[in-house]
Amino acid sequence: VFQYLGSLECHFINGTEKVRYVDRYIYNRQQFLMFDSDVGHFVGFTPYGEFNAKRANSDPVIMERKRTAVDWLCRTNYEAFRPFSVERR
């Protein structure tokens, strides 16, 4: 059985002052590709991942969408999840 998993993560440091967006791609429990907003581009960890990283990094539409995901995905959802994550004591 082969498994493919895509994982999106938003890491909030000091509210929305510092936000980090991480997009991971995993196949058979091995991460082969990752986008990190701190790095600003895709990084491949296997030959297949390096091929896809090169392809995605050269596409301006994909890169613009990933680079702006901090604003349209993470910061907009912060208000919805704040009562469950930050204000819990």
Q: How many domains, the chain?
A: 1
Token pair in block for residue 29: 């429990």
Residue 52 domain boundaries: 4-86
Residue 24 Rama label (left phi>0; alpha psi -120 to 50; beta): beta
CATH for 77: 3.10.320.10
Cβ-based neighbours of 3, under 8 Å, separated by 6 or more: 26, 27, 28, 29
pLDDT tens for the 89 residues of the chain, in order:
789 999 999 998 887 789 999 999 999 999 999 999 999 999 999 999 999 999 999 999 999 999 999 999 998 888 887 777 666 65
**pTM for the whole structure:** 0.85
